[in-house]
Amino acid sequence: MPLVTPGADQMPRSGIRRVMDAAWASGRPFIGMHVGEPSFTPPDHVIRAAEEAYERGDTHYVANAGVPALREALAVKLRESNGIEADPAQVIVSAGGAQALHLALSMTVAAGDEVLIPDPGWPNYAMAVGLLQATPVRYRLTPEQGFVPRVDELLALMTPRTRVIILNSPSNPLGTVVPGDVIEELVRFAERNDIWLLSDECYDALTYGVEHVSPARFDRSGVVLSAFSFSKTYAMTGVRVGYLVTPPEVAATAAKLQEPMIACVNAPAQAAAVAALTGPQDQVEFMRSSYAERRELAMAKLTEVGIPFVEPRGAFYIWVDVSARTGGSVEDWAVRLLERHQVAVAPGTAFGAGGEGWARLSLAADGDDIVRGIERIGEME
């Protein structure tokens, strides 16, 4: 039989899979707090825009980097919401944030290179890096340091093969938001060391009482690549639209790479994205305030049952410390929780070894489910 590449063959399965498989195999109803899927639907005008695009016959190939109307609307959004001054030519429309990240890595990382990734962090970073036959090198985010990366520790992980550092704020799974002064420090770190800073800002619109600061604001020498998404902001996960913002010098290269990867993003989905950006934003605020309410409910219930947690400042996750309850492996504990109490959570180790003893609860679940789920976690010995 012909071979598949080591990068493909050795790519680990997501650590949430064991819990999901057990949930489906049981055939019983369960409270799902394990996935980051918004419980909302996209605003009506967004859906209508996609329907109209199909009816108009917008079903042909479009430019690799995206339709001009969307890139122009994104340049406005980036200036107004993120403080990023980018020409539409620097904005490459992608198939979700995931493909924006893959595009950025494909452009900057070769086999044998190293990429600094957060631990705990979104599992797809290690998968995407491994697929390029490069090595993910994990930097730890610890409670002692407020889950913020430290430049001296990053420096110690650098080798001549380090090409990129991935930063994710607001964070999945931690729900933390990196303060602006640290963001600026990390941009300077990337500049000094001549590496790329790949900023995953897929949750940029979801913060609670703090400001999300985009690294590209501080970029003086063209080292920041920024990945964004429509998935979470507009509850458009299955529509698959995101975008990568690059320095002017590499924008044409990034646009060119879309040809072999995806050719272009689905044209009606791009019409939907234009409507999302330019239409009323009240539903975005409704979703954000719903997550904010669920966050309050979750924090109150966790406090009541005596489970320590990290106060979420962004995204829609709450990172809870179950180390006193797991008696060893948090993954085994999560499977037991499902079997005994029909509650599905993501074990912290799905996000790296640093997640041992922790679990991620998703606030994308319904408020009543969150309360009942936490009560049942409290009952787990």
Question: What is the total count of residues that contact ligand PLP (CB under 6 A)?
Answer: 13
Give 251's Cβ-side CA count (13 Å radius): 18
Applying CB under 6 A, the span of 209-217, 229-237, 301-309, 325-333 interacting with ligand PLP comes to: 229-237
Candidates 64, 135, 226, 231; binder of ligand PLP (CB under 6 A) is: 231
Contact between 97 and ligand PLP per CB under 6 A:
yes
Among 15, 43, 88, 96, contact with ligand PLP (rule: CB under 6 A): 96
Minimum CB separation from ligand PLP for residue 381, in Å?
Answer: 31
Dist CA 69 CA 56 (whole Å): 16
Q: Does 168 bind ligand PLP (CB under 6 A)?
A: yes
Q: Could you count the other beta carbons within 10 Å of the beta carbon of residue 365?
A: 23
Among residue numbers 328 through 367, which ones bind ligand PLP (CB under 6 A)?
A: none
Q: Is 198 helix (H, G, I), strand (E, B) or coil?
A: strand
Supply the DSSP string of 308-376, one letter for each residue: -EEPP-BTTEEEEE-HHHHSS-HHHHHHHHHHHH-EEEEEGGGG-GGGTTEEEEETTS-HHHHHHHHHH
Contact 113, 163 (CB under 8 A): yes
Residues 240-279 that bind ligand PLP (CB under 6 A): 242
**Which of residues 90, 176, 229, 246 is near ligand PLP by CB under 6 A?**
229
CB-based closest residue to ligand PLP: 96
Q: Tell me if 15 contacts ligand PLP by CB under 6 A.
A: no
Buried b (16+ CB within 10 A) or exposed e, 287-326: bbebbbebbeebeebbeeeebebbebbbbbbbbbbbeebb
Binding mask 172-201 for ligand PLP (x = CB under 6 A): x---------------------------x-
Residues at the interface with ligand PLP (CB under 6 A)? 36, 96-98, 122, 168, 172, 200, 202, 229, 231, 237, 242
